[in-house]
Every structure is written in C-alpha cells, then in structure tokens.
Structure 1
Amino acid sequence: MHLDGNALAGPLGEIFAVDITAAVGRCANCGMKGPVATLRVYDAGPGLVARCPRCEEVVLRLVRGPQEAWLDLRGTVSLRIPLQ
C-alpha cells in the first residue's frame, strides 16, 4: 500500500521554501521524468520512501528527527524546481 507524492508536501515543506511536489524529477534508474507528486510514497518505516511509478526504484528517502532531517536523493538524477 502506498500514498502518492503529495504526502511529501508537509515534510519537505519544512525543509524547502517552495512546494517541492510541483518540482519535476528524473529517475536515475529508468529516466522517467515527472512531478514529485506522482511518486509512490511508503510511510510504514521510520521515514518516508518515494519510488518511481514506472520502475519502482527508490528515488527519495526522508527521515526527520526532532532537531534535523536527512534527505537522500541519490535515486534522482535531477530536480527542476519551479520558482514563484
């Protein structure tokens, strides 16, 4: 069972000053491009894991502690962030 990438809006909103779910990323495994909102997000662990909707590879990991957050984007080749 997974959520869509919109589940990342709140947690990533604490880190970034823009709505990161509107950013377009590219999967490092299959090359698919799409908005962060289209990722499949799994929240059963201690953090959030976002997978590519095409190939299911992990593209983003986010774990938040009381004083800091760890963001792993190694499954993402690039992230194009729209600026207002």
Structure 2
Amino acid sequence: MSAQHPAGPVDPVTPLDGNVLAGRLGALFAVEVTTLVVVCGACGASGALAEAVVELDDEAAIVRCRACTHTLFTVLGDDEAPVLRPASLASIAAPAPKP
C-alpha cells in the first residue's frame, strides 16, 4: 500500500527562464537603494543599507555589518558596470511601505 497526499497528486513545477523575475526584482531595486533593508547572515542584525559600514577604494566597496563587522557584500567595478559579490548577506528587501 502506497501513501498518497490527501489533496491528490501535486502538479509539477514548470521551469521558466530568468525573465520572469523582471517585475519582482524591478520592484526591489526601484526604491532608493540606501533604504533597502539588509540582514547579516552572521549575526542576524538588520537595518537600512545606509546604516552599513563601507570601506571604499578605487576597485571595490566592501559593505560590512555595523553590528559584527562581517562583510555583507562587495561591489566591484565602477558606476557603469558594477558587480555585486554576496558574502554574509542573508537577505535584502525593500523597506516596508509607510502608512
């Protein structure tokens, strides 16, 4: 006797390409980026990107958690062609809408 899910067979997921993310990611980055909420994967602290500690030189911007100093992510390159390299970044989210 085989066990079956009470709701019946589960529909398989249809794989799509990355274009389906345009709306969701567009909404995430359509806000003022300094207001994005970042969460540190090392200590769990969260806050606006503007509150993070940034070490800047000609080649990179290292973004660190203000609470524990772990590197959240690094931005390489310049304003024309930046590359984001995640490190201890657990999540990044748009700020909650103001009432």
What is the TM-score with the length of structure 1 in the denominator?
Answer: 0.69
- The equivalent of 1:40 in structure 2 is 53
Structure 2, unaligned runs of 5 or more: 1-28
Work out the CA distance in 2 between the residues paired with 1:29 and 1:51. 11
Q: After the TM superposition, which residues 42-81 of structure 1 pair with which residues of structure 2 at under 5 Å, given as runs? A: 42-44=55-57, 46-65=59-78, 68-81=81-94
Structure 1, unaligned runs of 5 or more: 1-15
The CA RMSD measured in Å over matched residues stands at 2.1
| One-letter code aligned to 2:43 | C
Work out the CA distance in 2 between the residues paired with 1:67 and 1:78. 24
- Residue-by-residue CA offset, 1:14-67 (whole Å, 9 max, x unaligned): xx4431110111101000011101100001351100100110000010012586
- The equivalent of 1:25 in structure 2 is 38
Moved runs in structure 1, 4+ residues, more than 6 A?
none
Flag the structure with more relative contact order, 1 or 2, with Cα contacts below 8 A and sequence separation at least 6: 1
Larger Rg belongs to: 2
Work out the CA distance in 1 between the residues paired with 2:40 and 2:79. 30
Q: 1:68 to 1:83 in 2, by over 3 A?
A: farther
Work out the CA distance in 1 between the residues paired with 2:80 and 2:58. 19
Aligned residues: 69
What is the TM-score with the length of structure 2 in the denominator?
Answer: 0.59
